[in-house]
């Protein structure tokens, strides 16, 4: 059942398991409309009484490279709406009434970090790498969500150096539940999803709400704080250089 044929992702529901598959070549970087549509789709799936768990995965070279920087370069005024779309997507994952499993492969960057960090369970293929190169590009990364995956000092090392973490190191640090071959990623996620879907849907929804309630701090408020600095960097005096560096994938010069 493809409910979003014209969007950069597809969804289907079967036996209580909803699958949302991001597929937007070449790097699964979504534009402004795509992020808002993604948030809406996750909210819709979460509200369906027949959905007991959601699996978010992707096709192509990697999981998600974040926002469409070429769109932002051409239309800088979209920055506020793009930020809102990111916020809405990560909030939809984190606040989903049912558990969300993120099955990631290849590059996990920008919005990909936000989705994975907001999820309840993360599985990674052996080729997966997690990174936040935004400081080199004149922006802020998903620090609030990265901190749900990695220890505080590791997050800061990643943030300040821009160095990525591979799947095995992510597993060692407790960020991911399993590391599996790429061709086994979907089925490995579905194995866990089936276990959850077999439980009482009432109890699983209560458990999700309870666990969110006992988290340390408000993830959405922390991300809002961080987004303020993203906007400040984007609107810096040399914002033209910031946008050029982002599009050209080089270090910002200011």
DSSP 171: H
Q: Which of 5-9, 58-62, 118-122, 170-174 has the lowest mean pLDDT?
A: 5-9
Domain assignment present for 70:
yes
Whether residue 196 lies inside any domain: the answer is no
In sequence order, which residues have a C-beta less than 8 Å from that of residue 174 and are 6 or more positions away?
A: none
Lowest mean pLDDT among 96-105, 126-135, 162-171, 234-243: 234-243
Q: Average pLDDT, whole number, for the chain? A: 90
205 CB-side CA count, 13 A: 12
The answer to whether residue 191 sits within a structural domain is no
> What is the per-residue pLDDT for 84?
93
Q: How far apart are CA 116 and CA 121, in angstroms?
A: 8
Question: Regarding predicted confidence, which is higher, 172 or 231?
Answer: 172
**What would the pLDDT profile of 215-245 be if each residue is shown by its tens digit?**
988 888 888 788 777 777 766 645 555 556 5
- Higher pLDDT: 242 or 136? It is 136
- Rounded to whole angstroms, the Cα distance separating 31 from 41 reads 15
Q: Report the SS3 class of residue 42.
A: helix
Is residue 194 one of the residues assigned to a domain? no
Give the pLDDT band (50/70/90) at residue 72.
Answer: confident
Any idea what the CATH number is for the domain that residue 213 is in? 3.90.226.10
Tokens of 49: 């009484």
Quote the domain boundaries for residue 37: 9-182+201-248
pLDDT digits (tens, 9 = 90+) for 6-19: 689 999 999 999 99
Q: What angle do CA 129, 179, 197 make, to 5 degrees?
A: 115
- CA distance linking residue 124 with residue 91, whole number of Å: 21
pTM: 0.89
Please give the pLDDT value at position 2. Answer: 41
Buried b / exposed e across 25-40, counting CB within 10 Å, b at 16+? eebbbbbbbbbbbbbb
Say yes or no to pLDDT of 180 above 90. Answer: yes
Tell me if 193 is assigned to some domain: no
Query: Is 173 among the domain residues?
Result: yes
* Number of domains into which the chain is organized: 1
Residue 241: predicted pLDDT: 55
For the segment 83-94, what is each residue's pLDDT rounded down to a tens digit? 999 999 999 999
- The answer to the question of residue 16 being in a domain is yes
pLDDT at 202: 97
What's residue 26's pLDDT? 95
In a domain, 254, yes or no: no
Which band of pLDDT confidence, cut at 50, 70 and 90, is reported for residue 47? very high
> Tell me, what's the pLDDT at 237?
47
């Amino acid at each position: 059942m493809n409910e979003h044929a014209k969007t950069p992702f597809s969804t289907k529901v079967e036996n209580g398991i909803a699958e949302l598959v991001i597929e937007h070549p070449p790097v699964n970087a979504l534009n402004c409309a795509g992020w808002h549509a993604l948030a809406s789709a996750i909210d819709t799936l979460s509200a369906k009484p027949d959905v007991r768990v959601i699996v978010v995965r992707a096709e192509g070279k990697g999981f998600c490279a974040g926002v469409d920087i070429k769109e932002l370069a051409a239309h800088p005024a979209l920055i506020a709406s793009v930020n809102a779309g990111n916020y809405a997507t990560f909030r939809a994952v984190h606040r989903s009434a049912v558990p969300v499993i993120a099955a990631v492969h290849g590059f996990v960057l920008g919005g990909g970090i936000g989705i994975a960090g907001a999820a309840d369970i993360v599985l990674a293929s052996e080729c997966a790498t997690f990174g936040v190169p935004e400081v080199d590009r004149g922006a802020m990364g998903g620090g609030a969500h990265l901190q749900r995956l990695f220890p505080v000092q590791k997050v800061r090392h990643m943030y300040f150096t821009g160095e990525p973490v591979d799947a095995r190191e992510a597993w060692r640090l407790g960020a991911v539940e399993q590391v599996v071959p790429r061709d086994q990623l979907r089925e490995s996620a579905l194995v866990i999803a089936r276990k959850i879907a077999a439980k009482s849907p009432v109890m699983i929804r209560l458990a999700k709400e309870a666990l969110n309630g006992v988290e340390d701090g408000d993830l959405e408020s922390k991300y809002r704080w961080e987004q303020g600095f993203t906007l400040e960097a984007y609107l810096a005096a040399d914002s033209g250089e910031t946008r050029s560096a982002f599009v050209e994938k080089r270090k910002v010069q200011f």
